[in-house]
């Protein structure tokens, strides 16, 4: 077993902590991905359980609070996931800051864009091997063991959220396996979320005093994110494509 | 004895061509190995243009493959007896082109060694996975078809297998087109015309490839490639297919122009987006369509040589067309924020450049070489090459 695989298995083992952790990662991920799909009942999730369909993780980005020129979320993502942080056209960028100018009013905005964790993800539909998959809790991931690097998911993603690893990787993090020749994208810091944590970009944005990103369970009416979405006008990017994104934006028209 | 081994000069030419093709293939495999070792960073492809020159060659070969089967279909499905002697080579050309195209696609994967994974994990919602099944099925049908054509006792099956092959290849080309047609978020591809467009293109490209195969092999065997009447029919057919393909290309762009939101993209492809308009107009429209039509239909020009030249030009035009379609389509930025001007470190809102590198070009050439080698070896091993005037060996052109 190479070190990455070993670390990856350790990560998976601790992430879900059930007996399946000992069996082949592909099979394991399959179970992991499908757990709870048929179980629509809402119930609290204990850390020992696999991803549950009663939860739908999402983020709300308040564009009015997001500061132009600020890159805290981007830097935090790169640190957390062991990405080099360079921006050549062949480098991975899981989250990027997009500067916008309203063509009618000229108003400027700056927003982070990452994988939108679509409920109807085109990347999952097109993936020939099923390496792109959506967990029961809405997080869209790539199984690094079955991705053949065809890049069809990158062609299909409407948000340019995915990167292809164009070179041998260095500086990998134990929790975040990466590999040359595979496609990758924002995991919503699944390794942290499964331990009850919050994605690093959200933490960094708060720590910098902007608090522009709220993370939480869209299915839980009591969660802050669900409340905010009820109260203020929010939008999904390219809502016309009906991908039903888990990432929502406040302050831009849908 | 195969016609390719009928004389010592034919045998020598055969081995020399085999050696030349193998050399190109070996260089291509070396290039693929180099890309795999270093990653796709050594190619021109990047996170914006994720499919590059290898895909141009691969899609050309795969689309042409299904079209090359057309000659056999015309013979056994539509009962045109004149075409029947050409059927075995038509099937062999299909197999050769398909294999070459798939080789390029596989060797361009980020993880080509995971082919087993691709063969054992199927996502049945993926049009890509369906295509893999369709491609393998076409190999199987072609094998059966070839057997039924070459083995007298199987002859009764020819009609049925021929019909199956005909239906299968229409579905397959639709499937190949749908790889793009399903990409609804990309302005270049979200169009209902893509499937018929690909079928029309396949007819033209496939017949051109077949024509070249027939000429080349007949010449190698020291035979006349065509009798006058059959040549005239094939020539006219090629002309009609080239016109049909142009028609669908025009319809595709016209429907895009009709939708206001596509106007900027169309301007980019047709007028402003260097190098795409030059390739489309100069490469596809003029060299790949207008000049071939002139060669095919001008009374003073038309002859087997002119048709062969037209076939070469149609194939080059095909590569130009696909370059614009595949790479130009990706170079145009995704519209993630309609109504806004966007910019970022990740090429948002900005047209991306792509310059193909030598290794990816060599890999593409390797696909052509693989097809060439399979066609050559197949024609040597099997009694494929029937001269159109079904001549007894003794009546073959005397040297
Ligand atoms: S944003 Fe793109 S990568 Fe993320 S789930 Fe949607 S289609 Fe897939
Ligand atoms: S690159 Fe990997 S994850 Fe993306 S479609 Fe291909 S196999 Fe699936």
pLDDT in tens, B91-111: 999 999 999 999 999 999 999
Report whether B369 contacts B21 (CB < 8 A): yes
Report whether B378 contacts B96 (CB < 8 A): yes
Q: Which residues on A lie below 8 Å from B182 (Cβ)?
A: 126, 156
Instruction: In chain A, count H helices and then E strands.
Output: 8, 10
Q: What is the pLDDT, as a whole number, of residue A77?
A: 98
> What is the average per-residue pLDDT within B146-165?
88
Report whether B316 contacts B276 (CB < 8 A): no
% chain B with pLDDT above 90: 69
Q: Which residues on A lie below 8 Å from B340 (Cβ)?
A: 100-103, 109, 252
Residue A144, both tokens: 């690094």
Question: With a 6 A CB cut-off, is A118 part of the ligand 1 pocket?
Answer: yes
Interface contact flag, A149 B110, Cβ < 8 Å: yes
CA B302 to chain centre: 24
Instruction: Kindly give, in sequence order, each residue whose CB lies less than 8 Å from that of residue A107, ignoring residues fewer than 6 positions away.
Output: A101
Cα A169 to ligand 2 centre (Å): 18
Q: What is the pLDDT, as a whole number, of residue A17?
A: 37
pLDDT surpassing 70 at residue B205: yes
User: What band does B289 get if pLDDT is binned at 50, 70 and 90?
Assistant: very high
pLDDT surpassing 50 at residue B36: yes
Selected residues 89-148 of chain A with any CB under 8 Å from a CB in chain B: 89-93, 96-104, 109, 113, 122, 124-131, 145-148
Find residue A113's DSSP bridge partners: A96
Phi-psi region of A160 (alpha: psi -120 to 50; beta: other; left: phi over 0): left
User: Please, what is the average pLDDT of chain B?
Assistant: 91
B237/A43 Cα distance (integer angstroms): 67
B230/B256 Cα distance (integer angstroms): 39
Interface contact flag, B110 A103, Cβ < 8 Å: no
Residue from A33, A28, A8 nearest A18 by CA: A28
Strands A247-250 vs A57-62: parallel, antiparallel or unpaired: parallel
Residue from B388, B399, B392, B396 nearest B87 by CA: B388
Whether A181 and chain B come into contact, CB under 8 Å, resolves to yes
- What is the value of ipTM here, to two decimals? 0.91
Report whether A251 contacts A63 (CB < 8 A): yes
Q: Which CATH number fits domain B3-351+358-381: 1.20.1630.10, 3.30.540.10, 1.10.10.10, 2.60.120.620?
A: 1.20.1630.10
The tens digit of pLDDT for each residue in B230-251 reads 899 999 999 999 999 999 999 9
CA A63 to chain centre: 19
> What is the average per-residue pLDDT within B270-279?
94
What residue owns the CA closest to ligand 1's atom 4? Answer: A115
Q: Which residues on A lie below 8 Å from B335 (Cβ)?
A: 238
pLDDT surpassing 60 at residue B398: no
What residue owns the CA closest to ligand 2's atom 2? Answer: A147
What residue owns the CA closest to ligand 2's atom 4? Answer: A153
B54: closest chain A residue by CA: A150
Q: Tokens 């090459």, residue?
A: B385
Q: A75, exposed or middle or buried, with CB in 10 Å at 0-12, 13-18, 19+?
A: middle
pTM for the full model? 0.89
3-state SS of A182-235 is CEECCCCCHHHHCCCCCCHHHHHHHHCCCCCEEEEECCCCCCHHHHHHHHCCEE
Q: What is the pLDDT, as a whole number, of residue B388?
A: 46
The ligand 1 atom nearest the CA atom of A245: 6
Domain assignments of chain B as residue spans, ordered by start: 3-351+358-381
Residue from A194, A115, A95, A204 nearest A157 by CA: A115
> Which stretch of B163-167, B362-366, B383-387 has the lowest confidence by average pLDDT?
B383-387
Provide the shortest C-alpha distance from residue A125 to chain B (in Å).
6
> What is the average per-residue pLDDT within B4-25?
91
Low-confidence residues of chain A, pLDDT below 50? 1-45
The tens digit of pLDDT for each residue in B159-199 reads 899 999 999 999 999 999 999 988 888 888 878 788 899 99
Q: What is the pLDDT, as a whole number, of residue B101?
A: 98
> What is the average per-residue pLDDT within B324-350?
95
Q: Which ligand is nearest to the CA of B334?
A: 1
The tens digit of pLDDT for each residue in B38-96 reads 999 999 999 999 999 999 999 999 999 999 998 888 887 777 788 888 899 999 999 99
The tens digit of pLDDT for each residue in A56-81 reads 999 999 999 999 999 999 999 999 99
């Amino acid at each position: 077993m190479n070190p990455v695989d070993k670390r990856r298995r350790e990560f998976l083992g601790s992430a879900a902590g059930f007996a399946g952790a000992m069996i082949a990662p592909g099979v394991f991920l399959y179970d992991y991905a499908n757990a709870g799909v048929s179980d629509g009942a809402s119930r609290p999730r204990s850390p020992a359980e696999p991803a549950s369909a009663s939860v739908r993780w999402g983020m709300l980005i308040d564009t009015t609070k997001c500061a132009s020129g600020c890159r805290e979320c981007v830097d935090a993502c790169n640190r957390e996931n062991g990405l080099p942080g360079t921006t050549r056209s062949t480098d991975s960028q899981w989250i990027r800051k997009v500067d916008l100018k309203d063509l009618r009013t000229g108003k400027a905005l700056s927003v982070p864009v990452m994988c939108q964790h679509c409920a109807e993800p085109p990347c999952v539909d097109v993936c020939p091997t099923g390496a792109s998959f959506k967990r029961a809790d809405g997080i869209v991931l790539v199984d690094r063991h079955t991705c053949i690097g065809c890049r069809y998911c990158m062609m299909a993603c409407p948000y340019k959220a995915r990167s292809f690893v164009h070179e041998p990787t260095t500086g990998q993090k134990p929790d975040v396996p990466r590999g040359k020749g595979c496609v990758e994208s924002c995991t919503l810091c699944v390794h942290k979320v499964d331990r009850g944590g919050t994605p690093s970009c959200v933490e960094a944005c708060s720590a910098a005093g902007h608090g522009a990103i709220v993370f939480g369970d869209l299915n839980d009416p009591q969660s802050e994110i669900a409340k905010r979405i009820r109260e203020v006008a929010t939008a999904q990017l390219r809502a016309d494509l009906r991908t039903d994104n888990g990432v929502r934006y406040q302050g831009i028209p849908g | 004895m195969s016609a390719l081994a009928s004389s010592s000069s034919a045998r020598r030419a055969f081995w020399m061509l085999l050696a030349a093709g193998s050399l190109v293939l070996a260089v291509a495999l070396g290039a693929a190995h180099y890309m795999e070792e270093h990653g796709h960073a050594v190619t021109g492809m990047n996170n914006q243009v994720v499919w590059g020159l290898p895909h141009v060659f691969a899609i050309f070969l795969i689309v042409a493959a299904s079209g090359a089967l057309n000659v056999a279909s015309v013979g056994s499905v539509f009962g045109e007896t004149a075409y029947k002697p050409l059927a075995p080579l038509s099937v062999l050309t299909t197999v050769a082109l398909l294999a070459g195209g798939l080789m390029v696609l596989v060797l361009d994967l980020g993880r080509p060694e995971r082919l087993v994974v691709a063969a054992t994990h199927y996502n049945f919602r993926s049009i890509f996975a369906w295509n893999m099944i369709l491609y393998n099925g076409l190999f199987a049908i072609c094998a059966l078809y070839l057997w039924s054509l070459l083995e007298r006792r199987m002859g009764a099956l020819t009609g049925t297998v021929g019909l199956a092959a005909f239906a299968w290849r229409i579905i397959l080309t639709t499937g190949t087109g749908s790889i793009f047609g399903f990409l609804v978020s990309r302005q270049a591809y979200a169009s209902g015309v893509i499937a018929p467009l690909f079928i029309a293109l396949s007819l033209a490209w496939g017949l051109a490839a077949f024509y070249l195969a027939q000429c080349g092999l007949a010449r190698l065997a020291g035979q006349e490639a065509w009798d006058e009447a059959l040549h005239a029919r094939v020539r006219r057919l090629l002309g009609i297919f080239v016109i049909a393909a142009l028609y669908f290309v025009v319809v595709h762009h016209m429907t895009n122009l009709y939708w206001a939101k596509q106007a900027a993209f169309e301007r980019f492809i047709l007028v402003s987006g260097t190098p795409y308009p030059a390739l489309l107009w100069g490469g596809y429209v003029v060299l790949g369509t207008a000049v071939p039509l002139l060669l095919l239909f001008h009374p003073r020009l038309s002859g087997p040589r002119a048709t062969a030249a037209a076939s070469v030009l149609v194939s080059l035009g095909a590569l130009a067309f696909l370059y614009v379609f595949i790479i130009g389509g990706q170079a145009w930025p995704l519209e993630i924020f309609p109504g806004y001007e966007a910019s970022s470190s990740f090429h948002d809102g900005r047209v991306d450049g792509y310059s193909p590198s030598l290794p990816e070009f060599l890999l593409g050439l390797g696909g052509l070489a693989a097809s060439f080698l399979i066609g050559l070896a197949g024609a040597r091993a099997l009694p494929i090459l029937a001269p159109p005037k079904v001549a007894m060996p003794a009546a073959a052109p005397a040297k």
